[in-house]
Amino acid sequence: MTFEKEWAELRSAAAQRSAMQINSAPAEGGGGAGAPDLVVNRDDLGAIGNDAYDLRTRLSKDGDHARPATFDAAIALTNGNFASGSAVLKVHDFWQKHLKTLLDSCAHISNHLDYTKAQHAKDDVKIGGELTSISKLSEYMK
């Protein structure tokens, strides 16, 4: 089977699965009254955020081992009139740029998950308070 034919069959199957359904529930039982298909607990968020923080901590230490030696080598090669000195300096700068981007991404993930965890806790308290007042009204309506 050629790639084009296989790709066309896969696209057709995907289009059939995602076709709009009117006045019916999906055949596979997704959505609606069934069990939720996405559940995230605060403990899960905390664990992922902690892993991202640990990764950032290790990466900030371990990702910087070769930087001083690489920079020194680039300067020595450049001072020795070797053309490869500028190339080594480019590698050094490229690594530093991408290491910083990766460190910032890990910090962003960690901070976002910490924020999400705290926000969910606040939302739970707020919803609990609102439901308590509704249950009091329900008692009076009996």
Instruction: Give the model confidence (pLDDT) of 62-102 as tens digits.
Output: 888 888 999 999 999 999 999 999 999 999 999 999 999 99
Which residue ranges make up each domain of the chain? 40-140
**Per-residue pLDDT, 53:** 86
Q: Which of 128, 127, 116 is nearest to 42 (CA)?
A: 116
Residue 13 CA: distances (Å) to CA of 1, 2, 28, 93: 16, 17, 15, 47
DSSP 56: H
Scanning 1-142, the segments in alpha helix (DSSP H) are: 3-17, 42-62, 67-79, 84-141
List the chain residues with pLDDT less than 50.
21-23, 29-32
**Per-residue pLDDT, 104:** 92
**Per-residue pLDDT, 84:** 94
Crossing angle of helices 67-79 and 84-141, rounded to 10°: 150
Q: Which of 36, 16, 42 is nearest to 27 (CA)?
A: 16
User: pTM score, two decimals?
Assistant: 0.52
